[in-house]
Structure 1
Amino acid sequence: MRSLVALLALIFISAQAEPLKVAVASNFAAPMLAIADEFEKQSGYPVSLAFGASGKFVAQITHGAPFHLFFSADQSKPQALLDAGIAQAGSQQTYAIGKLVLWSPGQDPQQGNILNGPYRKLALANPRLAPYGSAAVSVLTQLNLLQSSKARWVQGENIAQTYQFVQSGNAELGFVALSQLMHNGALDTQHTWLVPSHLYPPIYQDRVVIRNAHERADTQAFLTFLQSPYAAQIIRSFGYVLPGQDQ
């Protein structure tokens, strides 16, 4: 009997030692790293983060990837996991509202007028996988530049790769997330155009709890910490709007 109790205790300890596995949309990488780091310090719970395109994560989670939480760049992908019975009912919640910018390191984007001028490549995230890419397509459509720009698109699998295309000079300009250009609560470059919000649908970013992860103490602790003033300050410092705030 004692050996059985010891074995069950060992299994319990091993389960508790397993890190909280969190899938995070690429645009939210920097704030999530800061939030998770502080959470680990305060709670003692280990956190394992993975960053990528929201669409890719949905495919991975659907096929059994062992994530406990999914922080998407939109609302439709968490909803798809709920509809499939993969995410916990009632767990979907908006954690941030994103902003889109046009970035051109070598010159002033001129309130978007640069899109009418000569350039070789325009970077944007794949609109089928990444919500920021879909938002970029909406902007180009509203500006009547969709067809004329298509031949010059270079598409990143996610917004992180899109940022790299522009940073490396492989594209002279690109649509990226405002959060990628923020440092200590301020833009770290002047070569941006904050795209007016009326040119694209609001980028509501939602999270869900996967399967039975809601039963884990670290899941509940992390979601509670995400509502803390510390986490809220971090999220705002990267240019996001919190739910309930004016956009």
Structure 2
Amino acid sequence: MSMPLYILAAGSLKRAFIPLCQQFSASTGIPVKIDFGPAGLLRERIEAGERCDLFASANTLHPQTLLNSGRAQAAETFAFNRLNLTARKTAQTENADWLALLANPALRLGTSTPGCDPSGDYTWQLFTRLEARYPALTLKARAQMLVGGRESLSVPVGEIASAWLIRQNLTDLFIGYAHYAQALENTDDLRILAIPDEFQTRCEYQLALINANAEPLARFIVGPDGQTFLRQAGFLTLDGE
């Protein structure tokens, strides 16, 4: 049997990468072991010497950092994402638009953790743009960093952070990745709201090739089969779809 490939991947990739890697293993006979987590913390594990053959990050900063330090052999983009807003559906929130919800100080606002998790970094970029246009929003001061950090809550396996946090009454609003919308669109207790293009953050996902033996998996991810798995999970793929 072939030696397994060890993959560290951003947690947002779980719904795409589990079936993707299963298909890769079935096609090639190469087993894959994946550990998911906040990409910033995964990069730190690689820098500390943990075994990793391929790193899939939710941003370009962490792969490029590994490339520049000589820990990665190559880095390439493989998918894109956007941000959206998930809100608890109540009489108070049911008819409000995304901006009115963010502007309501009575509603608790949850995010991921900047620095540790690219979702948090992208959210802070969004807040910077919004506060420049609407200074009264003070979103960064209001936001509670609930997941994605070193001491954050652990979201149960199979749960989507935004939905779980709201249903646990830990927040009323959550800024997160838009690819989860398709999994939440038929829920009766949540509202999923798009954020207009003028405020959007381009969430660019990159691979860092740490060991050349993972090159076949990297090629599978950027190839037609891998891109299909990503598209089915709600990501924007290299062909623009």
| Shorter-chain TM band | 0.7 to 0.9
Among candidates 215, 218, 225, match of residue 220 of structure 1: 215
Verify: 1:55 aligned to 2:34, yes or no: no
TM alignment of 1:106-145, pairs within 5 A:
106=89, 107-108=93-94, 110-144=97-131
Provide the aligned length of Structure 1 versus Structure 2.
Answer: 222
Evaluate the alpha carbon distance shift between residue 94 and residue 122 of structure 1 in structure 2; reply closer, same or farther with a 3 A threshold: same
1:123 deviates by 1.0
Which structure 2 residues correspond to residues 46-195 of structure 1 after superposition, within 5 A? Answer: 46-88=31-73, 91-106=74-89, 107-108=93-94, 110-144=97-131, 147=138, 150-157=141-148, 161=155, 162-163=161-162, 164-183=164-183, 187-189=185-187, 191-195=191-195
Letter in 1 for 2:16: P
**Residue 205 of structure 1: how far off its partner (Å):** 0.7
SS of the counterpart of 1:74? coil
Q: Could you say if the C-alpha distance between residues 208 and 146 of structure 1 is closer, same or farther in structure 2, counting changes exceeding 3 Å?
A: farther
Which of structures 1 and 2 has the bigger CA Rg?
A: 1
Is the 1:92–1:208 contact (alpha carbons within 8 Å) kept by the matching residues of 2?
yes
Q: Give a deviation string over 1:88-113, Cα, whole Å, max 9, x none.
A: 1xx21101011111001324462332
Deviations 1:111-143 (A, max 9, x none): 332111243421111111222212212222222
Structure 2: 5+ residue runs without aligned partners? 156-160
Q: Using the TM superposition, give the Cα deviation of residue 237 of structure 1 relative to its aligned residue in structure 2, in angstroms.
A: 2.1
Report the counterpart of residue 17 of structure 2 in structure 1.
Answer: 32
Gaps of 5+ in 1: 1-12
Structure 1 residue 238: Cα displacement: 2.4
Moved over 4 A (4+): 158-162
Q: Structure 1 pair 146/25, CA: closer, same or farther in 2 (3 Å)?
A: farther
Counterpart check, 1:245 vs 2:230: no
Q: Distance in 2 between matches of 1:148 and 1:207?
A: 31
Q: Is 1:99–1:239's contact at 8 Å kept on the other side of the alignment?
A: no
Other structure's SS at 1:64 match: coil
With the length of structure 2 as denominator, give the TM-score of the two structures: 0.82
8 Å contact from structure 1 (residues 55, 130) kept in 2: yes
Give me the whole-angstrom Cα distance separating, in 2, the residues matched to 1:238 and 1:77: 23
AA at the equivalent of 2:70: G
